[in-house]
Copies of this chain bind each other. A is one copy, B any other.
Amino acid sequence: MTDPAPSAAPAPFSGPGIPGLMMDWPLLTSTITAFMEENFGDQKIVSVVDDLGTFTYTYAECAARVKKLANALKAAGVKPGDRVATIAFNTHRHFEIYHAVSGMGAVCHTLNPRLSAEHIDYIINHAEDVIVFADPACMPLTQNGMERWKSVRQIIELAAPYEEFIADHPAEFAWPTLDENAACALCYTSGTTGNPKGALYSHRSTVLHAICAAGANAFGLRATDVALSVVPMFHVNGWGLPYTGPICGAKLVLPGRVLDGPAITKLVQDEGVTLSVGVPTVWQAVLDHLTSSGEKVPTLKSVFIGGSAVPPSMIDRFEAEHGVDIVHAWGMTELSPIGTVCKLDATAEAQDREGRIATKSKQGRAIYGIELRTVDDAGERIPHGSEEGGELQARGPWVISAYFRADTPDSFDNGWFRTGDVAIYDNRAHMQITDRIKDVIKSGGEWISSIDIENTLMGHPEVRMAACVAKPDPKWRERPVAIVAAANPDAPPSAESLQAYLAERLPKWQCPDEILFRADLPIGPTGKILKRQIRDELYGDAA
């Protein structure tokens, strides 16, 4: 094994109190790379890649290539702190870049291939990346890159050119002992307004996030599990699975570019996947595919879903029809990303089915390491169990303290990060997101949760997608309007039938004034419905 760790020197100390006498062993991502090689060398990584098909190798073989890559990057002049960009899907090569770039002290900067060319240009120039790795399917995005991106010295395709890049380098690399607060990864938020902003993760934040996400109240991964990372590795560290997986010795399945219902179902079946993660739209597609094809996924035990609220109907159907435990999670780019996970405790498990689904429809409890609070308009903390919603704020070792090269004091409130979400808490510490602050509908002085209306509509069998936005209203200030994509576009339900369905389930004043139909709703680069765009199209920018 190479040597990321220190001597038996005690950790540095400044009072009060007396110094503990424990070893100074910094939390570096290279300790995870070394751990997987040392302890789970024969565990498998399965990767779906354009040039190789389904490719399988072991953690030990992976670690050897990670070290070859680290040597290649060093030879290419990459220095500690340099940003190395990826525009790539979930493959073993992307996994190798995560480990090699961070392990050597550089910063792994993941870009979303679904961003516009303008955003990609802005982000690469803002981050001053020195090398760009891109999947074959993403190479068009790099056209004229050397002219568009002044800091970039090399663009390497993740296929034969990547193999050539690492080929002649040795499979041994002495991981440097870094400050654990050094940056190791960078991810820009895809904000719908303003320029993208970068979250610059440290080794410490990344390792702590990976350890805490491994806990049984979160992923609860172990060495008998097969974990399929449907959530893209270009999206907030792939929810930490590229580090949590190796810590737990789990078999990792990296599905590549194609994430439709049939492809995911086949991977789950072929590889015996036990656990997965992803956004609701992807898993809705899997559920629809299972229903239409009659296929089963007997090995699959749990799917962690975040990014947007999961409709209760989806939780219910996955459990009832497939025995899959859908676990709601909530996080953000600025939180590395995991904030809460809704694994039920004994009291919640003891509820009847309806009660359990209701609890599981919430985003759940903070995992250890994350502190959360909701505050009212006056900035006062709202106690748990209050009916009152408020802005959700977060603090902890994997929460950003600032954006990269941006001064945004409004993002923080007296040491807390302002999430931009509105949430309510029940009296058992379960958090529920009711809206993004910018999506809140204020009607007659009361807040109406757009997510409540959407979730209720999603429970209707004839509805495939639903969004709810605020329409300007002279009397009430704003009123809700729902936009629906029907399950069968040729025979959509009537607006009246949906109104009746809502009226049975929501207070009358919260029901939308209108229901509009669309063939499809616009989806953003991270899989979320672009409600802002819908509202702007309907009611103009001034809405």
Contacts and interface: CB of A to CB of B under 8 A. Distances in A.
Ranked 8 nearest A-B pairs via Cβ: A20-B202, A223-B345, A7-B415, A216-B222, A17-B80, A18-B81, A17-B182, A16-B80
Contact of A396 (B25, B181, B182, B183): B25
A251 interface: yes
A42 B428 contact: yes
A529 interface: no
B399 A23 contact: yes
A386 interface: no
Contacts of A1: 371
A401 B401 CA distance: 32
B204 A5 contact: no
B343 A222 contact: yes
B346 A8 contact: no
A18 B402 CA distance: 14
Contacts of A398: 22
Contacts of A105: 16-17
Interface in A178-206: 178-179, 181-184, 199-205
Interface centre among A217, A248, A417 (most CB of B within 10 A): A217
Q: How many identical chains are in the complex? A: 2
Given A10-B401, A18-B107, A19-B202, 9 more contacts: A5-B371, A5-B396, A7-B415, A18-B182, A20-B204, A32-B368, A35-B368, A39-B366, A249-B365
A22 B129 CA distance: 20
Interface string A26-57: 01000110110011111100000000000000
Q: How large is the interface on A (under 10, 10 to 19, 20 to 34, 35 or more residues)?
A: 35 or more
B429 A251 contact: no
Contact of A401 (B5, B23, B369): B23
Nearest to A396: B25
A345 B401 contact: no
Interface stretch (A207-215, A351-359, A519-527): A207-215
A15 interface: yes
Nearest to A185: B20
Contact of A10 (B211, B396, B402): B402
A220 B223 contact: no
B220 A216 contact: yes
A14 interface: yes
A22 B178 contact: no
Contacts of A200: 18, 20-22
Interface of A: 1, 5-25, 27, 31-32, 34-35, 38-43, 79-81, 105-107, 176, 178-179, 181-184, 199-205, 208, 211-212, 214-217, 220-224, 226, 247-249, 251, 336, 343-347, 349, 365-366, 368-369, 371, 395-404, 412, 414-417, 428-429
A22 B202 contact: yes
B8 A344 contact: no
Nearest to A373: B1
Interface centre among A8, A11, A178, A403 (most CB of B within 10 A): A8
A412 B21 CA distance: 13
A204 B180 CA distance: 13
B223 A346 contact: yes
B17 A345 contact: no
A23 B251 contact: no
A27 B224 contact: no
B397 A217 contact: no
Contacts of A43: 345
A417 to B, nearest CB: 7
Contact of A182 (B16, B349, B369): B16
Contacts of A347: 42
Contact of A416 (B8, B14, B199): B8
Nearest to A79: B16
B8 A249 contact: no
Contacts of A9: 401, 415
A216 B217 contact: no
B365 A39 contact: yes
A79 B343 CA distance: 40
A224 B42 contact: no
A11 B202 contact: yes
B397 A23 contact: yes
